[in-house]
Structure 1
Amino acid sequence: MFEQTAGEALIDILTEWGVEFIFGMPGDSINTLMEPLRKQDKIRFIQVRHEEAGALAASAYAKLTGKLGVCLAIAGPGAIHLLNGLYDAKLDRAPVLAITGQVESDLIGTDFFQEVNLDRLFDDVALYNQRIMSAEQLPVVANQAIRMAYTHQGVSHLSIPDDIPRFKVSRDAHRTNSLLVKSLPMPETQDLDAAVQLLSESGNTVILAGRGTHGARQELLNIAHRLKAPIVLTLPGKGAIPDDHPYCLGGLGLLGTKPAYQAMKEADTLVMIGTSFPFTGFLPKKAATIQIDSNPAQIGKRYPVDVGLAGDAGLTLRQLYERLSERTDDDYLIRCQERMQDWHGKMTRQGEEELLPLRPQTVPVLLQSILESNAIISCDVGNVTVWMARNFRVSQQSFITSSWLATLGCGLPGAIAGKLAYPDRQVVAVVGDGGFTMMLSDFVTAVKYKLPLVVIVLNNAKIAMIKFEQESMGNAEFATDLTNPDFARFADDCGGIGITVHTRDELINALPRAFSASKPVIIDVFVDAGEPPMPAHITFSQAKNYAIHLVKEWMADPT
């Protein structure tokens, strides 16, 4: 009757759900899970050097593939280290299962070694959070945890006391099946009619497309063509349509383009699709607004709307397309396109200048010429996000970052996950020196598992975005200097390949060498720390405060 241990049953369930990788570190309170994991050959355990990297990698894997990301950690410190990566998954709506050990059942509540109240610790980050109480409970709860992570696109957490995976369970003990049923929500007919009536009126229409439009590219382009409406992309929406498509105006906000800002100012009608854009100061002051989202709770959450359509983006756009007549007036669209052509030229010229130190924009502009159409770009957070959002034009590539949590250090774990998931595709992490040094120990993880990825470090010895933020507030720069190691030498010492770059020609030569290598590569690119990530539109307040900052710097100078 008792044919396997609870730990073996858990591994079987993960296998049935198609789990390919588990990111984590072994340790005492999960040894009873590591042993059945060792004995099978369908799931690959990826040993990271820090549990935060494991959780960030699991989140990135889920973002890239749509499959469940899984991370594993011991009780106490290991579980605590997972949290940052799990919050990234929560806020970017990536399905992730976190499994943590716990002290043995009879020791819970005794303040035992490494005992932490994991139920309370994970209560905010996890939409499903359970402590396993018995061996018979584990299989059914594991299925429920995975189903919840997929259904609600978020984090599930299982806390498993160390003794429970050893106990024997029957193969049919409280067993449910590993089945996920999906549905596509459809908006109400009267809401569709209201949207059609609003969109049938004359005026300038602009579309703001977010993460929810990934997978609905053709529907998005069809509706834009019918409305003669340019498309502005949020950062999570980057890649929903190619950046160089005639209808694309790039991003919005501090990372965005000037044509997108101008289009929003001139818009009479705004259509928001698959986004709950937080920076509402960049949206039109007065525009009739339609919002499409599969989650009704997101509609009108941050910005007032006239019509809400609660439905799947692709399905809803198809319904609208069938009901709308094609507009003939394309003056607004043409005006936006002309501005965007000028903007693209300006962004390209920024990366072509022969300056020393290099302008950071040189990296995305040269990267553009070598990345294949199916490459994976894992972009870290900081000024590097600005340069990649503005100066790199995504065509068919996959682009991931920490969009909502905006956590430094996400670049390298994202690249590791990308190369594991898609070993035949080019994978690059574009990182700043501040973010990279938070997670650089896991470069040896890429070496250990023979993952020929490329890490491009924009090295300016600064926490440069914070420097600019301090200055734009009129404050003197403080505590933003960095002391960096020799990143190229570090790569060599880890068993990878390191390349140091100071000039544009050196970078031109380094890129093909790096992407043809059979080992992980770090390209250490020294860039100008004084290049400000100026927003596409500079407000009077920002200019005024920057002038105040210069005066404060002068006053604070002891000489």
Structure 2
Amino acid sequence: MARTVAHVIVEALKDLGVRHVFGVVGDALNPLTDAIRTTDGLDWVGCRHEEAAAFAAGAQSQLSGVLGVCAGTVGPGSVHLLNGLYDAAKSRAPVLAICGQVPLAEMAGDYFQEVDNDLLFRDVAVYRATVTSPDQMPRMLESAVRAAVGRGGVAVLTVPADLGDQELGEDRPARFALGRAVTRPDDTALAEAADLLNAASRVTLLVGRGARDARGDVLRTAERLAAPMVLTLKAKEGFEDDNAYEVGQTGLIGNPAAAHALDHGDALLMLGTDFPYRDWYPKDCKVVQIDVREEHLGRRVPVDVGLAGDVGATLRALLPLLDQVPDRDHLADTRDRFAKWREGQLRLADPAHDRRPSGRLRAALDNRDHAIRPEALAAAVDTYAADDAVFTSDTGMATVWLSRFVTMSGGRRLIGSYNLGSMANAMPQALGAQLWAPERQVVALCGDGGLSMLLGDLMTIASYRLPVKIVLFDNRRLGMVELEQEQAGLPEFGTGLDNPDFAAVATALGFTGVRVTEPDSLHDGVRKAFATPGPVLLDVLTNPDEIAVPAKPTVGQAWGFALAKAKEILPGTAG
């Protein structure tokens, strides 16, 4: 077989362990897609929108640790990749985007559909280059892959339309020599951190995804310091299950126990986290931060000791220097608060909650029509989903309910747009996840705003007969935006959605559609959705007026909410 530019790319991707390339076919990609067509072990996944392709590739990268790959053809096809690639970049997921370009002789001439890809992807990519000669391959491909994997980001390789089927002058395979360095701080810095932590009486841990590979070391540290462990959302996977120190999340999606743990400690140990919300950090507290990226140290909260290094390697060196803390009151008090909060949340998640005396008062405030509470839906999903299910969640209220009610027990996995915060991510990420693990249950927790934004790629899931379970929190609102408006004292505006019967739409597209409108039918509906083979969309009409109480509700937020409700209900109060 002739070693063309396209064939060199395809052979190299297969050797790297890449199994799927996501995209939309087009003229400049024809040599690439034809090379994929004739190569065993690497499949083309034709999506309906390139943004979905990029989300799917990023999801595979995050779940597998293998390079994710997507493709877009000339101009608009490549532009459409951009949002999904930003999500991969913000998630530090290694993704290669192969982009088409106009023929070499037409470049820089304002040709039909021409876009300057090197400029377009300048902000999102750790590497970007346009192939202008076959002799640049495979060297240029090697550089792109090394940058994506080594720096944890997006590489964009642009291939002009008349270059993909040209033969290489040098006949050699691509060589990547990929490796990962494991580093730890020097002994002086470790001793300084140990002195600070040993002098504290109440230490709290804030644990992020960067500590996921060091679970045992983190748990031993929590035990040594008798420290409650606050988790970021991305640390739910890996740290929520069988953890006697965990107290849930902080921030707007969090709980009062986690906020208490942070506010009442006199030392904070941050492990592999770049938690961005500064208002939720403690104010009068000594801080030690461990992160493999030195530029992350101290950028969210002032740090007394910053330790640049791998979390596991650093903790293994630090642990022998730490004293055993005998007083466990800080841990016990916070865990007790967490248990009581969870008991209250589970009562709220009971579909019969609003009919009981304890629930009637709240229902009179925020659920007068006795609609299905989203908490009840999330709790039912947690009950019936498989122990090794892969979850994706849309940005917004679907993620709030997941964070509070869906536990990452057993071998469950979790991804979402938790850094970029894009809408419409959960369904295409589930597409990538299901192709990565065809034998596992994949559950996408979607908002109605997010799902409808990339609705067309439901057809991709149906076309490939992927057994993805779409769970739709159908509240006929952009719920997070409504909450933000009302907390600021503004009346709800522009957030209402005129939705179709999504179950019927899904049925027309080749799914099994299940629609639930009454609380008493909720558990039967969730059970049916998860037990039905093939792709299923579960459309659950949830309460549009649900109040998600933050971890530390303020007087200002309460007043803003009351003022907003008054403006919504009473005429003449909008000014």
**TM-score category, normalised to shorter length:** over 0.9
Local SS of the residue matching 1:226: helix
Q: Distance in 2 between matches of 1:269 and 1:195?
A: 11
C-alpha deviations, 1:252-287, integer Å up to 9, x for none?
Answer: 100111100111110100001111111111111111
1:239 aligns with: 237
1:375 aligns with: 389
Q: Is the 8 A contact 2:513 2:538 kept in 1?
A: yes
1:453 aligns with: 468
1:317 aligns with: 315
1:527 aligns with: 542
- Percent of aligned pairs sharing the same letter: 38
Q: Give the superposition deviation at 1:342.
A: 0.6
Alpha carbons of 1:551 and 1:30: their partners in 2 closer, same or farther (altered >3 Å)? same
Q: Residue 286 of structure 2 aligns to which amino acid in structure 1? A: A
Local SS of the residue matching 2:473: strand
C-alpha deviations, 1:68-112, integer Å up to 9, x for none?
Answer: 110011011110100000000111111100110000000101111
Residue range with higher mean Cα deviation, 529-538 or 75-84? 529-538
Q: Give the superposition deviation at 1:450.
A: 1.3
Question: For 2:565, which of 539, 547, 550 is the aligned residue?
Answer: 550
Q: Distance in 1 between matches of 2:452 and 2:115?
A: 28
Q: Distance in 1 between matches of 2:118 and 2:176?
A: 25
Q: Distance in 2 between matches of 1:317 and 1:348?
A: 35
Local SS of the residue matching 2:525: helix
Q: Residue 371 of structure 1 aligns to which amino acid in structure 2? A: A
Q: Is the 8 A contact 2:434 2:468 kept in 1?
A: yes
Q: Is the 8 A contact 1:243 1:249 kept in 2?
A: no
> 1:404-483 to 2 correspondence within 5 Å?
404-483=419-498
Alpha carbons of 1:515 and 1:207: their partners in 2 closer, same or farther (altered >3 Å)? same
Residue range with higher mean Cα deviation, 544-553 or 150-159? 544-553
Local SS of the residue matching 1:537: coil
1:64 aligns with: 63
Q: Give the superposition deviation at 1:13.
A: 1.2
C-alpha deviations, 1:437-468, integer Å up to 9, x for none?
Answer: 11221111111111111000010111111111
Q: Distance in 1 between matches of 2:571 and 2:233?
A: 37
Q: Give the superposition deviation at 1:202.
A: 3.6
Q: Give the superposition deviation at 1:497.
A: 0.1
Q: Give the superposition deviation at 1:243.
A: 5.1
Q: Residue 195 of structure 1 aligns to which amino acid in structure 2? A: A
> 1:172-191 to 2 correspondence within 5 Å?
172=171, 176-191=174-189
> 1:184-199 to 2 correspondence within 5 Å?
184-199=182-197
Q: Give the superposition deviation at 1:507.
A: 2.2
2:90 aligns with: 91
Q: Give the superposition deviation at 1:418.
A: 1.2
Q: Give the superposition deviation at 1:296.
A: 0.7
Q: Is the 8 A contact 2:4 2:165 kept in 1?
A: yes
Q: Is the 8 A contact 1:16 1:178 kept in 2?
A: no
Q: Residue 398 of structure 1 aligns to which amino acid in structure 2? A: R
Q: Give the superposition deviation at 1:528.
A: 0.4
Q: Distance in 2 between matches of 1:171 and 1:398?
A: 43
Q: Distance in 1 between matches of 2:470 and 2:555?
A: 37
Q: Distance in 2 between matches of 1:198 and 1:161?
A: 57
Question: For 1:216, which of 200, 214, 217 is the aligned residue?
Answer: 214
Q: Residue 40 of structure 2 aligns to which amino acid in structure 1? A: D
1:135 aligns with: 134
Question: For 1:362, which of 376, 401, 407 is the aligned residue?
Answer: 376
Local SS of the residue matching 1:14: helix
Q: Distance in 1 between matches of 2:317 and 2:131?
A: 45
State the TM-score, normalized to the length of structure 1.
Answer: 0.97
Q: Distance in 1 between matches of 2:407 and 2:13?
A: 37
Q: Distance in 2 between matches of 1:171 and 1:428?
A: 46
Q: Distance in 1 between matches of 2:76 and 2:571?
A: 42
Q: Give the superposition deviation at 1:325.
A: 2.6
Greater than 3 Å deviation, 4+ residue runs: 554-559
Q: Residue 346 of structure 2 aligns to which amino acid in structure 1? A: T
Q: Give the superposition deviation at 1:67.
A: 1.1
Q: Give the superposition deviation at 1:3.
A: 3.9
2:288 aligns with: 290
Q: Give the superposition deviation at 1:511.
A: 2.2
Q: Distance in 2 between matches of 1:176 and 1:67?
A: 17
Q: Give the superposition deviation at 1:28.
A: 1.1
Alpha carbons of 1:436 and 1:244: their partners in 2 closer, same or farther (altered >3 Å)? farther
Q: Is the 8 A contact 1:268 1:288 kept in 2?
A: yes
2:247 aligns with: 249
Q: Residue 347 of structure 1 aligns to which amino acid in structure 2? A: Q
Residues 1:503 and 2:515 aligned together: no
Alpha carbons of 1:32 and 1:92: their partners in 2 closer, same or farther (altered >3 Å)? same
Q: Residue 563 of structure 2 aligns to which amino acid in structure 1? A: I
Q: Distance in 1 between matches of 2:179 and 2:568?
A: 60
Q: Distance in 2 between matches of 1:92 and 1:385?
A: 16
2:72 aligns with: 73
Q: Residue 515 of structure 1 aligns to which amino acid in structure 2? A: F
Local SS of the residue matching 1:207: strand
Local SS of the residue matching 1:163: coil
Q: Residue 180 of structure 1 aligns to which amino acid in structure 2? A: L
Residue range with higher mean Cα deviation, 287-296 or 527-536? 527-536
Q: Give the superposition deviation at 1:132.
A: 0.7
Q: Give the superposition deviation at 1:128.
A: 0.3
Q: Distance in 2 between matches of 1:557 and 1:454?
A: 45
Q: Distance in 2 between matches of 1:551 and 1:511?
A: 36
1:205 aligns with: 203
Q: Give the superposition deviation at 1:554.
A: 4.1
Q: Distance in 2 between matches of 1:59 and 1:104?
A: 29
1:537 aligns with: 552
State the TM-score, normalized to the length of structure 2.
Answer: 0.94
> 1:331-370 to 2 correspondence within 5 Å?
331-354=329-352, 355=354, 356-370=370-384
Q: Is the 8 A contact 2:135 2:170 kept in 1?
A: no
Q: Is the 8 A contact 2:351 2:520 kept in 1?
A: no
Aligned length: 557
Q: Distance in 1 between matches of 2:39 and 2:45?
A: 14
Q: Distance in 2 between matches of 1:280 and 1:340?
A: 22
Q: Give the superposition deviation at 1:34.
A: 1.3
Q: Give the superposition deviation at 1:244.
A: 6.0
Q: Distance in 1 between matches of 2:171 and 2:238?
A: 44
Provide structure 1 residue ranges, at least 5 long, that are not aligned to the other structure.
none
> 1:381-400 to 2 correspondence within 5 Å?
381-396=395-410, 397-400=412-415
Q: Give the superposition deviation at 1:422.
A: 0.9
Q: Residue 283 of structure 2 aligns to which amino acid in structure 1? A: K
Local SS of the residue matching 2:105: helix
Local SS of the residue matching 1:406: coil
Residue range with higher mean Cα deviation, 236-245 or 402-411? 236-245
2:504 aligns with: 489
> 1:98-113 to 2 correspondence within 5 Å?
98-113=97-112
Q: Is the 8 A contact 2:12 2:174 kept in 1?
A: no
Q: Residue 38 of structure 1 aligns to which amino acid in structure 2? A: R
Residues 1:14 and 2:13 aligned together: yes
2:359 aligns with: none
1:268 aligns with: 266
2:362 aligns with: none
Q: Distance in 2 between matches of 1:427 and 1:147?
A: 30
Q: Give the superposition deviation at 1:18.
A: 1.2
What CA RMSD, in Å, does the superposition of the two structures yield over aligned residues? 1.6
Local SS of the residue matching 2:137: helix
Q: Is the 8 A contact 2:95 2:148 kept in 1?
A: yes
Residue range with higher mean Cα deviation, 156-165 or 539-548? 539-548
